[in-house]
Structure formats: C-alpha cells, structure tokens
Amino acid sequence: MGYDASIMATTQWYFTQYFNLTASQQGWALSSAGYGCFLGAISSGYLTTAISRKFTLMLAGLMFLISSIGSGAADSLNELASYRIILGLGIGMIATTAPMYIAEISPSNIRGRMVTFHQLAMVIGFLFPFIISLTVNVLSTQAFNWVDHGWRMMLWSALIPTLVFIGLLFRVPHSPRWLMLRGRRQQAKAVITQLTSNTDQVESELNEIENSLSETSMPAAKLLFRKGLILALFIGVMLALFQQSTGIVAVLIYSADIFKQALDYGPEEALKPQLWVGIVNVLFTLVAIKTIDSWGRKPLLLLGTVGMFIGLMGLGLAIYTQHTGMISVVGVMIFVGSFAMSMGPVVWVMLAEIFPNNVRGLAMSIVIGIQCLASALVTNGFPILNKSRLNIEGFNGALPYFIFALICVLAILFVCWRVPETKGKTLEQMEKLWK
C-alpha cells in the first residue's frame, strides 16, 4: 500500500504530462483507487468472515498483481483509472483485514505495537520508490525519459513487493478468532499455542473468545447497531475520517506539486525533499511503536494532532505570506512526523481493537470503506482546490493547508470528548466499554 502511494507521488507529474490531464482529470487518475478501495472495504466485511482473513489478503494480493501489470501498460486515462480501481479493491481489502488479523493474533500487552507494524510497513514501502527514482536520476548518463516510459516502469516495479506479499501469506496461519467463529476450536488452539508457551494462557484465551462469541446469536448487522456498539461505530468512523481529512494523502501524493509551489522545484529536484519526507515518516512511526503500549493511544493522538496543526499552519502561513523556502519544508516535515506518530498508526490500532469479535469484520468494512471514500475525495479535490482562483488570488495558494489545520482542531476536540483509552485491554475486555 505504501509502495503504491509513493509511486503515485513520484510519477503523477509525468503521466499528467503524458496524457495531458487537466486538474480534475489528474485528481480522478489518482483518486480512482480510493473509490475502488471503498468497494473493497465494504466487500471485505463479508469476505473476512466467509473465506477467512488470510484468504481475503491473498485475494487482495491478486488485485494488486492485475493492477500493477495493467496500469503500467495503460494507453489512456480511462484505462489507467480502471486498473487503479482494481488496485483500490485490493487496498480496501488489505486496509480492513491486515490490522484486524494482526490484532487478533497479538497478546494484549503488545497489540498496539504489533498493529503499528502495519503502519511501519506502509511508510517503509513509501520510501522505496523515492530511493529508486533518485538513484535512476543520479546514475543515468543522460536525462531519463520519465514522461514517455519511466512512470510505466515504476508502476510495473510494484510487481516485486506484490509477489513477495502473496508468497509469504502461504506461511501465516488463520486467525484463531476466525477459527473459533467457524467452530474450529482445535485448530484455533493450535494457532494460539504457536503464539504463546503458557498452557494456562492458551485455555484462558480460548474460553474468553468462546464466551464472547456465545453471548449472542444475533446477526452481526443487527448487533452492530445496538445502543452500545453504535457509539463504537461512531468513534471508529470519526477517527477514520479525521485520519484522511487532515490532509496526509494530499501532502504525500502531491508533495512534488507542494515543493514546486514552495521552492519552485522541478520533479527531479523535488525527489530529495520527498525522500526526506519518507525518512521522517519512518522515524516517527518507530517512535509510535516504542510508545503506543506505554504512553497509551489517546495521549499519542492528542500530542501528534497538535503537531500536525502546527506543521500545517507553518506551511500555510509561509505560502500565504510568500516567505517560502526551507520554512515550508520544515512545516511539511513537522506535519508528516506528527501524523506518523499519531493519526497514522494509532487510528489503525484503535479501529482493529474497539469492535467485538462477532461484528469486527462488518464494523471494520464500514469504517474502512468510509475512510477510503474520504481519502478519494481529498485526493480528487486537492488539485482542483489548489488551482482554483479563490485559492490563488485570495490565499496565495495556502487555503488547503488552512482547511486541513482547522480539521486538526476539530479532531483534537473529538479525541478529548469521545475517544476512550484502550491500552492493555484484551479484545474481549474491550467489549465491556460499550455495555
């Protein structure tokens, strides 16, 4: 997922020229995956229960494979967008299923750290295409033709991590909670035994899962909309919306345009600050991994979102007052670093742990579906707003960052008001929050 997002950030300038895209067409080319992601996330609620978490991830890998081949060979905007929608189906499935799977196999005392590895994998994946692109530019004896064929090669390069992903999935077991959901107790016991050497803990966890699943025979759709769980769903939806609508997808994918605006850089020159953004993303995700199970989810969310607000205001004011340069880059770095230690990993962790076993698949599919839709709308709308007359003449290009900063303020207020602390609780103990 991270590798694909980075490919879009490094290549969108070139295929925009190749296809001669307008601002709205550029937004559609990039956001089409988000609309596919919505469909993939919604369908994963059924798939994760019917065919398992593991096989849903394998199906998502197949979607990545088809998209990587087809999008690199696309000869029109419609072809490119069609394959991006197929990619989005896979992204939606993975975004829903991967954190759920990790949460279901992880002990409660390290679950936050384990789910955060999902975010770490994405930001490491995000770093590689910048390194590859920069290396190609440095080593090529003449100007590399990115517009005609370079962007295609980058899209095809996604085949490598995709094949590795599918291959390694053959090595992972089914989730013990899914096995229990299907009545396969002995297999669930075997998986939990692989995860812990404490025999008493194996039986205790099995009994806890069994009790959780037997508390109600009500269908998941009906159970999810009961009084207590509707609050959990509301919190999940709002966290997902804030994660995307605070602007991270715009800042990362359109970073080349931002550095052109702030530093008057071309696409090749923009690769260096883009690479630094990727490095900051990784380093601060490591901070989240180190602190999420000791500090807790809520303090990290609050601290990081305040940092995001400061970074966006710094970037926005620098562009608005035309005092651009390194201060703009610092604003981007503060924003990305703050997101990487808070909204990025913490939201994934909380979405994976706040829903009961009986409804986790359905609830995650709804929440991630809305998250994907928000991401698509931001991706689609950013170039249109950024190039609008209101933004250029009224705000000198700074309006999107002021809007994102305002949303950060709303996110801080919501976290203080409604988000509970979930550190150290088992997934089954979490259910008591909503009763």
Q: pLDDT of 55-81, one tens digit each?
A: 999 999 999 999 999 999 999 999 999
* Top-confidence residue, 300 or 213: 300
pTM beyond 0.85, yes or no: no
pLDDT at 218: 63
**Between residues 241 and 144, the one the model is more confident about:** 241
pLDDT tops 90 at residue 351: no
- Parse the chain into domains and list their residue ranges: 2-434
Per-residue pLDDT tens digits for 163-188: 999 999 999 999 998 999 888 989 99
Q: How far apart are CA 13 and CA 6, in angstroms?
A: 12
pLDDT in tens, 272-327: 888 888 899 999 999 999 999 889 899 999 999 999 999 999 999 999 998 877 88
41-56 pLDDT, tens digit per residue, is 999 988 998 999 999 9
Distance separating alpha carbons of residues 172 and 144, to the nearest angstrom: 41
Name the DSSP letter for residue 357: G
Cα 176 to the center of its chain, rounded Å:
25
pLDDT digits (tens, 9 = 90+) for 95-127: 999 988 998 888 877 888 888 898 899 999 988
According to the per-residue pLDDT averaged within each range, which of 83-92, 252-261, 274-283 is highest?
83-92
Q: How confident is the model at residue 210 (pLDDT cuts 50, 70, 90)?
A: confident
Q: How far apart are CA 102 and CA 40, in angstroms?
A: 19
CB 33 within 8 A of CB 84: yes
What is the residue-averaged pLDDT of the chain? 88
Give the residue with greater pLDDT, 339 vs 198: 339
Q: What is the DSSP letter of 352?
A: H
407: nearest Cα among 290, 277, 250, 242: 242
- pLDDT above 60 (res 234): yes
Per-residue pLDDT, averaged over 215-243, amounts to 80
Which amino acid would we find at residue 256?
A
Rounded distance between C-alpha atoms, residue 269 and residue 274, angstroms? 9
Predicted pLDDT at 93: 95
- Look at the domain 2-434 and name its fold: Growth Hormone; Chain: A; (1.20.1250)
State yes or no: pLDDT of 254 exceeds 90. Answer: no
Task: Read off the amino acid at residue 262.
Answer: A
Looking at residue 225, what is its pLDDT? 75
- pLDDT given for residue 143 in this prediction: 59
What's the rounded mean pLDDT across residues 236-243?
95
Q: Is the pLDDT of residue 141 over 60?
A: no
Best CA proximity match to 366, nearest among 242, 224, 213, 219: 224
The pLDDT tens digits of the residues spanning 370-419 come to 999 999 999 889 989 998 999 999 999 999 999 999 999 999 999 999 89
